[in-house]
Amino acid sequence: MLDSFLGNERLKQELTLLLQTDRLPHAVVIQAEEGEGGGFLSKLIAAAYLKDENGLVERGIHPDCILVEGSGASGMISIQTVREILYEANKAAVMSDGRRVVLIRRAENLNASSSNALLKMLEEPPEGVLFLLTVRKTDDLLPTILSRVAVYRCQSLSKEICVQALLDRVPGCDRQRAEEVSELFDGRLGLALRALSDSEYAVYSALGKSFCEAAVSGNLFDILRDLSEAADRNSSKLLLQAAVIRLRRMVRTGEGNVARLGFVLDEVTEAYNEITNNTNLKLIQTRLGYRLAGKEE
pTM for this one? Answer: 0.80
CATH code reported for the domain at 9-153: 3.40.50.300
Q: What are the residues facing 68 on neighbouring strands? A: 104
pLDDT band at 296 (very low <50, low <70, confident <90, very high): low
Mean pLDDT value of segment 195-219: 88
DSSP string over 252-267: HHT-S-HHHHHHHHHH
Cα separation values, 107 from 62, 99, 237, Å: 21, 22, 20
Residues 67 and 59: beta-carbon distance below 8 Å: no
Asked whether the predicted pLDDT for residue 175 surpasses 80, the reply is yes
The per-residue pLDDT for 146 is: 93
Alpha carbon distance 210, 49 (integer Å): 44
The per-residue pLDDT for 73 is: 65
Domain boundaries, the chain: 9-153, 198-292
Phi, psi dihedrals of residue 30, rounded to the nearest 5°:
-100, 110
Answer with the residue of higher pLDDT: 101 or 242: 101
Q: Which of 7-11, 200-204, 209-213 has the lowest mean pLDDT?
A: 200-204
Residues 104 and 46: beta-carbon distance below 8 Å: no
Other C-beta atoms closer than 10 Å to the C-beta of 197 total 12
The overall average pLDDT reported for the chain is 90
Asked whether the predicted pLDDT for residue 212 surpasses 80, the reply is yes
pLDDT band at 241 (very low <50, low <70, confident <90, very high): confident
Alpha carbon distance 184, 196 (integer Å): 12
The per-residue pLDDT for 203 is: 86
